[in-house]
Chain A
């Protein structure tokens, strides 16, 4: 028992938390991120990577079902909590390692999880129908499995299939009524993808993938239902989740700008710098003196501006009518800097207005782009930021 307890102790010192922001609760989410970083914990990038699920704010109807589906994908040991008040944040976080270490309840949870759901055509059909016609925006993953986690259990994996959607799993394009012409010859009864010509005239598999709303570095209120040819977005439907909390306090402008910049940097894949911008945002949210933050921000701006690789890698990436992604990134950080240093003598004016981007704008921005470019464009639009602050409004 000594060894098992020791492993449990060490293994819960670096908890991976999947932070889910309900639209409008960005300040709460940033506080959670700051608290997680302060403990040396990590933000999970996917359900498979998570130990704990922390929902910020009270999710509305479509989102709460999705959260349930994501919860089923998190491997045991796992823990979930919903946070509506910043005041109880630390207690919530303290509870996570204790819950993860509780072997008895974790074992019970693992055994209660659905072990296997057959995928015979009879019960598969309603699911498939739901997949293609469902309006519910999905997490990017499909199913979790439920193998009992502990070593004394049988060593083979049983896939399970809850009532989730199939986004994330390559699936067929079967027209408007999938139940009618289903080709069940694919793996696990998942119909095979059908081919179509892509933008370059090549025959490619047509698959469907839903981006958001629960996706790392992705705006909390945006859902993009994509039809992919290979990894090119042939068609997309944009959905916005309603904001659950309209009246809550908004984060400081500088922290919003740093947040947008950190997201773009992590989508670009410059992890070390994204971490540093994350840290700036955390510091602003936790009330570190602005002079201190501003000095580090200055250094980062210089480093980002100097990177030739970044310039070259982001060349030509922008939404129609918007400034290039790199300019926007530098612009955000510059504005964050100005707002940090603003005082009575030099007040800071950020353009304030309604969110400029309509669903049509977003759709047009992503059509015909590759998946990686879509991520960059969405991150450079920073649509998820508070509607009161239009970032880089030109």
Chain B
């Protein structure tokens, strides 16, 4: 094995999970601080909340229930964080990429479908009605977001004429895709929040069902799921950078830094908007997803296709 490849492997195994974890912790901290402000508590306590929760959950006992499908339950809990890292592994940081897949975009899509299984198994494995209801809620929600998301993902692919992320990034040298694919971008971001069961799309972990898929989790298992949720959110935000924000392009700073900065901006936007909207119930979501959002994204695709045909490539 040549040494650059070995270096890449080390980077992928050590750097990426670490980077995802650090960003996830940062998002959780900011979210905690905003929550603390809303509650009238000390903002500093809010910032420290994720660290305190981590210490607390590390000390806590794990639980199981009679008849729990422990294997699948634990796999699902640990899988979220792994899925997040697997998504990030194909993202180009400037010209550097840990895994230059010719079908990087499809890879992302495959992992996001894996999240269906993970969330549902998390609900199923506990052998508790509340968890199971949570799992089914996630599936109902996924039926609404997945088709629009898949269409939304095709827009950058059509724009660049490639499924390879380096090509998609390169096609945005003059104009970022977010400028002429805004509908795709919005659908993409909403879907990322939805597959993380977060913000307005958190009905699978809703308080009304005792936190649904989280209801029976404690200790390290709960930590993995709570952390994994933020990790998936971070991964989704990071993936929007090569798709819609020109990847690592930017003045002065190296490409890798720009990717992180742009990711942070997308995350901040998700946090801010997510807090303004109450949870959308899956049954109501299906209505707009299929009646309004799917036609909208198809129009977006038509516009992109026409532009590419007339222009002979991306703008």
B residues at A contact (CB < 8 Å): 34-36, 38-42, 45-46, 48-49, 51-53, 55-70, 127-130, 132-133, 136, 200, 202-203, 206-211, 214-219, 222, 275-281, 283-284
Contacts and interface: CB of A to CB of B under 8 A. Distances in A.
Nearest to A113: B61
Contacts of A45: 207, 210-211, 215
Determine chain B's interface SS by DSSP, over half rule.
Answer: helix
Given A46-B211, A48-B217, A187-B127, A231 B133 contact: yes
A275 B203 contact: no
Given A46-B215, A169-B66, A372-B209, A307 B278 contact: yes
Contact of A266 (B53, B132, B207): B207
Interface of A: 7-8, 10-14, 16, 37-38, 40, 45-46, 48-49, 51, 73, 75-77, 110, 119, 140-149, 157-159, 161, 168-170, 186-190, 207, 209, 215-217, 228, 231, 265-273, 275-276, 278-279, 282-283, 307, 309-310, 312-313, 370-372, 375-376
A51 B279 contact: no
A140 B207 CA distance: 13
Nearest to A187: B67
Given A278-B39, A313-B284, A157 B63 contact: yes
A147 B38 contact: no
Nearest to A48: B218
B278 A147 contact: no
A31 B155 CA distance: 54
B62 A168 contact: no
A375 B208 contact: yes
Instruction: Give the residue among B53, B278, B279 with the most A Cβ atoms within 10 A.
Output: B278
Contacts of A11: 52, 55-59
12 contacts: A11-B56, A13-B45, A14-B49, A38-B41, A77-B59, A141-B128, A144-B63, A146-B61, A147-B63, A169-B65, A170-B132, A266-B207
A360 to B, nearest CB: 24
Contacts of A275: 35, 38-39
A309 B216 contact: no
Contacts of B70: 157
Contacts of A49: 211, 214, 218, 222
Contacts of B209: 371-372, 375
Given A40-B42, A75-B218, A372-B209, A186 B67 contact: yes
Nearest to B215: A46
Given A169-B128, A275-B38, A40 B45 contact: yes
A159 B60 contact: no
B55 A149 contact: no
Contact of A48 (B136, B208, B222, B275): B222
B61 A216 contact: no
Nearest to A282: B40
B249 to A, nearest CB: 35
Contact of B128 (A142, A268, A271, A376): A142
B52 A14 contact: yes
Contacts of A77: 59-61
Given A169-B67, A187-B127, A189-B66, 16 more contacts: A10-B55, A10-B56, A11-B57, A40-B45, A73-B63, A75-B219, A76-B60, A147-B64, A149-B219, A159-B65, A169-B65, A186-B67, A228-B129, A269-B203, A371-B208, A375-B209
Given A49-B218, A266-B207, A309-B278, A140 B130 contact: yes
B39 A279 contact: yes
A279 B35 CA distance: 11
B273 to A, nearest CB: 11
B133 to A, nearest CB: 5
Nearest to B38: A275
A119 B60 CA distance: 26
A275 B280 CA distance: 18
A313 B285 CA distance: 9
Contact of B59 (A7, A40, A158, A279): A7
A8 B217 contact: no
